[in-house]
Homo-oligomer: A and B are copies of this chain.
Amino acid sequence: MSRPAPPAFPGPASEQDFLDLIAGHFPEAHAHVELGRGDDCAILRCPERICLTTDLFLEDRHFRRAYFEPEDVGRKVLAVNLSDILGMGGRPLGFALNLMAPRDVPRAWWDRMFLAMSGLARDYGAPLVGGDLSAAERIGLAVTMWGEAVPGGEFKRRGRTEPGDLLVAVGPLGLARAGLLALEEGGRHAAADAPHAVAWHLCPTLDPESSAALARMPFVRGLMDVSDGLCQDVPRFLARGQGAALGFDGLALHEEVRAAARARGQDPALFAALGGEDYALLGAVPPERLDEARAAVPRLMPIGRVTATPGLTLNDAPLPGGFDHFRPADTED
């Protein structure tokens, strides 16, 4: 057969071509997957309990192509979902991908995105079991991911804190925010001035070992992933009616966070607490178990204490709220 003429646009030539591209990157063989892609549904072998999350990752809302390379997009959309699984003390079993694809995005762009995504998926042993594909005006991804409790561990929920518990964090608070501000102001070139911050915003490096260690300690009262900043996420983490007195020294923060706060005349601790997209872990530990927790999770940082009454303070000053997609003052357009 003679081959058809190449299409006049640079994207995948057909839906089948797109599916073939995906098939080339994502193997399906996995003990969890009885039937993979290509039928009405996947068929999955499941443990008694799974945890499940889903997240949108939309161009010009969650990322900009001006400074996100295709590899960053592919990795970050998975990382955002993986972070939710780790925030439960789980480990991923598989994921599904909905893809909104403008026709003018080159095939090579997708190829690079899938290569990076499949690399991260392989690191976590998470097969792609299905999805959907549609033309659209902007790139958009919606990932659904599910997982199981880590061996010897249990799922850790929110809302189980007790007054007096220490709040602990694992991950560089405020670093993603510093990176976002640098990228929005200086584009990809900003990487020269704030390389760690920019890298963390483009794709956070998650910490499955710390999550698993916390999941295995029965005295850890809850775990969550900090994605909207401590100001918004700490109240969501506490049991009803409680508050928190956050307190940490700017010196405990990453150097690039301190520099970003200084450059804007802001208090570094407040800058970090307002952050977003930290993809850090937040947990609660009875004070008498802190040393034990620290021995198992060396990067754990105490950031405050649970109070018996509502309200959030940081270094004794009241804290404002965080970002809201729908509150007019927070939106960009």
Contacts and interface: CB of A to CB of B under 8 A. Distances in A.
Interface in A29-65: 34-35, 38-56, 58, 61-62
Contacts of A130: 52-54
Interface string A211-243: 000000000000011000000000010000000
Interface string A130-151: 1111111110101010110000
B49 A48 contact: no
A15 interface: yes
Interface in A8-23: 8-9, 11-18
Interface stretch (A112-120, A293-301, A321-329): A321-329
Contacts of A52: 41-42, 44, 96, 129-130
A229 to B, nearest CB: 14
A225 B40 CA distance: 7
A54 to B, nearest CB: 4
A16 to B, nearest CB: 7
B331 A224 contact: no
Contact of A14 (B58, B134, B326): B326
A8 B84 contact: no
Interface residues on A, range: 35 or more
Contact of A58 (B13, B35, B54, B100): B100
A152 interface: no
A25 interface: no
Contact of A15 (B17, B90, B325): B325
A157 interface: yes
Among the interface residues A41, A87, A90, A155, which one has the most CB atoms of the partner chain B within 10 A? A41
Given A41-B88, A61-B136, A144 B100 contact: no
Given A326-B135, A328-B7, A48 B46 contact: yes
Nearest to A99: B56
Contact of A44 (B13, B50, B58): B50
B48 A144 contact: no
A85 interface: yes
A43 B84 CA distance: 12
Interface in A228-264: 236
Top 7 A-B residue pairs of the complex, sorted by shortest distance between their CB atoms: A41-B51, A40-B87, A142-B142, A46-B46, A144-B144, A40-B84, A41-B53
Given A17-B326, A44-B51, 19 more contacts: A12-B326, A14-B326, A35-B157, A39-B88, A41-B87, A41-B147, A44-B52, A45-B48, A45-B49, A46-B46, A46-B49, A54-B96, A55-B132, A61-B136, A103-B333, A132-B142, A134-B325, A137-B138, A142-B142
